[in-house]
């Protein structure tokens, strides 16, 4: 059950071993703690389906990259050991630092006692904003809550927690049970049926954003009329196009670009990057990484979100070309080609997104990592259309983690009932990247009316969701 935050794992240096002790909670680093929310979400989904099991999450992070592991099972001591060891193994391989305990069951144990910039409450708000789901008071939190009115054990009463959350309604065995209303301190409100401290039955949630859901709930989660399994999503749902190839001409060589210049910086020795899998393999089962010497360039781009002649008015992306190309002129040619192509991407796929592009010789699959914001290119892999692949891989880096866990996106996927390409059925990340590529084609290029009509008819809810993201698209001109 090993899980990691990144899609594929990329790193450029060798790192040391971890030294934190098992059961030791992480401390203070709020940006690090945010990386544990995806693991916490998956662990809670498991807990919902297996209420008698325990779950633990261990997390490590370094320089904006995360690795994590969660385990579910009956014996708490055993899953602690397994999860901690798996986290250490991942961290040693990927250089993400020491592993610390993030959560046990529904309780986040990360310690912010000596932090001025983070707190458990702020972390919970981040979780709610990201996943559209609210936290419900744990047993430990309920010990410090106060019954303001009535009977908060068995009867009707009003309970208020130290963070401002308040529940008014029916109680059983010290838990909200029956009819009641929960008002969270952030303004979200649920009214309806409760069971054992969580929404269960018919109820309505109104979020501060104005969004509202009325329907059936189970153990704190919204219930669909039909639960669609991952296997069904991959194998049973229809797809519209075989692949991205129908979009070959969405960006042309003479289209506008935000590219400014390319500068040679230095030669690098013993660099490290992932080794893309061979074209005839479905998994990179070995040789995940490659050490190499390379030419290092910096590519510069206009960033229209900032005033001209300020430090943030220019975006910098590092481009590394493997010295196996031998000829430095050829290496620069490759660097310049991809630097210019990246300049034609819409801003939301470039600015504050891509940090590094690595170019290797050979015919292998391109790979991307949302954690380190790096992807690897094999120009000789002639089955790729460069601009389409850049959009797809950039989407993995910049957008995937912003949308794939969002409850509205999940609803859109379920409602659409089909995928835009066969490859999009593979998993939620590929669905995200393929859909974003088609969104760019639909809103920002001159594809035929027939293709536009077919895309809108096939995945209207995903398209609407992306429209509402209000992406920055310069230098492309996009229309909804």
Kindly state the average pLDDT of the residues 389-416.
84
400-432 burial: b if 16+ Cβ within 10 Å, else e = bbebbbbbebbbbbbebeebbbebbbeebbbbb
CA 226/CA 212 separation, integer angstroms: 20
Q: How much is the pLDDT for 32? A: 86
Indicate whether 330 and 186 sit together in one domain. no
Residues 6+ positions from 146 with CB-CB distance below 8 Å: 159, 160
Measured CA distances, 408 to 71, 136, 277, 462 (Å) = 27, 21, 33, 9
Q: Which of 211-220, 302-311, 395-404 has the highest mean pLDDT?
A: 395-404
Measured CA distances, 25 to 101, 174, 189, 386, 422 (Å) = 4, 29, 31, 44, 42
Q: How much is the pLDDT for 324? A: 92
Q: How much is the pLDDT for 408? A: 79
Q: What CATH number has the domain bearing residue 153?
A: 2.20.110.10
Q: At residue 95, does pLDDT exceed 70?
A: yes
Q: What CATH number has the domain bearing residue 271?
A: 3.40.390
Q: Which domain, by its residues, includes 203? A: 144-219
pLDDT tens digits, residue range 107-149?
Answer: 888 988 776 667 877 888 788 777 766 766 665 566 667 888 8
In degrees, to the nearest 5, what angle opens at C-alpha 433 toward C-alphas 431 and 437? 115
**Among the residues of 111-169, which ranges form H helices?**
120-131, 139-142
11 falls within a domain = no
Nearest CA among 137, 133, 177, 138 for reference residue 154: 177
213 falls within a domain = yes
Out of 200, 219, 238, a domain closes at 219
Of residues 216 and 464, more confidence is placed in 464
Indicate whether 209 and 250 sit together in one domain. no
The per-residue DSSP string of 129-143 comes to HHHS------HHHHT
Residues 6+ positions from 185 with CB-CB distance below 8 Å: 121, 163, 164, 165
Indicate whether 177 and 235 sit together in one domain. no
13 falls within a domain = no
Average pLDDT of every residue of the chain = 82
CA 358/CA 365 separation, integer angstroms: 13
Using CB atoms within 10 Å of the CB of residue 26, give its burial: 0 to 12 exposed, 13 to 18 middle, 19+ buried: buried
Pairing of strands 155-160, 146-150: antiparallel
Out of 131, 162, 188, a domain closes at 131
Proportion of the chain above pLDDT 70, given as a percent: 85
Token pair of 77 as six digits: 């001591």
Q: How confident is the model at residue 318 (pLDDT cuts 50, 70, 90)?
A: very high
Indicate whether 45 and 158 sit together in one domain. no
CA 327/CA 191 separation, integer angstroms: 68
CA 102/CA 290 separation, integer angstroms: 32
23 falls within a domain = no
Q: How much is the pLDDT for 139? A: 59
Indicate whether 307 and 178 sit together in one domain. no
3-state helix, strand, coil in the chain (%, to 5): 30, 30, 40
Indicate whether 123 and 265 sit together in one domain. no
Indicate whether 247 and 271 sit together in one domain. yes
Indicate whether 426 and 464 sit together in one domain. yes
Kindly state the average pLDDT of the residues 64-69.
83
Q: At residue 9, does pLDDT exceed 60?
A: no
Measured CA distances, 345 to 208, 314, 421, 476 (Å) = 34, 15, 21, 7
Q: How much is the pLDDT for 10? A: 33
265 falls within a domain = yes
Q: Which helix (H) or strand (E) holds 334?
A: helix 328-343
The per-residue DSSP string of 356-420 comes to EEEE-SSSB--EEETTTTEEEE-TT-TTS-HHHHHHHHHHHHHTHHHHTT-HHHHHHHHHH-EEE
6 falls within a domain = no
CA 418/CA 50 separation, integer angstroms: 29
Out of 219, 254, 279, a domain closes at 219
pLDDT tens digits, residue range 445-467?
Answer: 989 999 999 999 999 999 999 99
Of residues 36 and 417, more confidence is placed in 36
88 falls within a domain = yes
Indicate whether 317 and 404 sit together in one domain. yes
Kindly state the average pLDDT of the residues 148-167.
87
136 falls within a domain = no
In degrees, to the nearest 5, what angle opens at C-alpha 392 toward C-alphas 274 and 89? 30
Indicate whether 120 and 167 sit together in one domain. no
Q: How much is the pLDDT for 144? A: 67
Indicate whether 195 and 234 sit together in one domain. no
Please give the tally of structural domains in the chain.
Answer: 3
Indicate whether 307 and 213 sit together in one domain. no
Proportion of the chain above pLDDT 90, given as a percent: 36
């Amino acid at each position: 059950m090993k899980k990691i935050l990144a899609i594929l794992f990329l790193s450029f240096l060798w790192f040391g071993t971890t030294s934190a002790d098992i059961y030791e909670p992480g401390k203070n680093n709020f940006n690090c703690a945010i990386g544990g929310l995806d693991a916490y979400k998956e662990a809670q989904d498991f807990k919902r389906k297996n209420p008698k099991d325990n779950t633990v999450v261990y997390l490590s992070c370094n320089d904006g990259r995360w690795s994590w592991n969660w385990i579910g099972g009956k014996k708490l001591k055993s899953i602690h050991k397994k999860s901690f060891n798996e986290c250490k193994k991942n961290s040693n391989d990927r250089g993400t630092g020491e592993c610390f305990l993030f959560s046990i069951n529904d309780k986040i144990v990360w310690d912010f006692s000596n932090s001025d910039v983070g707190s458990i409450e702020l972390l919970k708000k981040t979780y709610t904003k990201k996943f559209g789901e609210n936290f419900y008071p744990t047993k430990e939190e309920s010990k410090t809550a106060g019954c303001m009115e009535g009977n908060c054990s068995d009867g009707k009463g009003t309970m208020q927690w130290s963070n401002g959350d308040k529940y008014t309604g029916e109680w059983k065995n010290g838990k909200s049970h029956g009819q009641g209303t929960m008002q969270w301190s952030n303004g979200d409100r649920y009214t309806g049926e409760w069971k054992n401290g969580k929404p269960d039955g018919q109820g309505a949630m109104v979020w501060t954003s104005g969004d509202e859901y009325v329907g059936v709930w189970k153990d704190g989660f919204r219930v669909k009329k039909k639960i669609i399994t991952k296997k069904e999503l991959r194998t049973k749902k229809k797809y519209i196009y075989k692949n991205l190839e129908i979009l070959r001409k969405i960006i042309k060589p003479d289209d506008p670009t935000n590219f400014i210049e390319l500068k040679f910086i230095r030669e690098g020795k013993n660099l490290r990057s992932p080794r893309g899998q061979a074209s005839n393999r479905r998994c990179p089962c070995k040789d995940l990484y490659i050490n190499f010497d390379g030419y290092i360039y910096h590519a510069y781009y206009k960033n229209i979100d900032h005033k001209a002649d300020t430090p943030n008015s220019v975006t910098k992306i590092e481009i590394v070309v493997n010295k196996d190309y031998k000829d430095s002129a050829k290496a620069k040619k490759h660097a310049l080609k991809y630097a210019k192509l990246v300049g034609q991407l819409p801003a939301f796929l470039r600015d504050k997104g891509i940090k590094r592009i690595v170019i290797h010789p050979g015919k292998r699959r391109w790979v991307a990592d949302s954690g380190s914001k790096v992807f690897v290119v094999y120009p000789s892999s002639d089955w790729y259309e460069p601009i389409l692949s850049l959009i797809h891989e950039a989407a993995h880096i910049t957008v995937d983690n912003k949308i794939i866990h969002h409850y509205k996106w999940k609803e859109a996927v379920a409602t659409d009932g089909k995928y835009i390409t066969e490859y999009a059925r593979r998993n939620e990340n590929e669905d995200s990247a393929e859909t974003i590529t088609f969104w760019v084609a639909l809103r920002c290029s001159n594809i035929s009316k027939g293709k536009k009509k077919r895309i809108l008819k096939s995945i209207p809810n995903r398209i609407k969701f992306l429209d509402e993201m209000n992406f920055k698209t310069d230098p492309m001109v996009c229309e909804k």
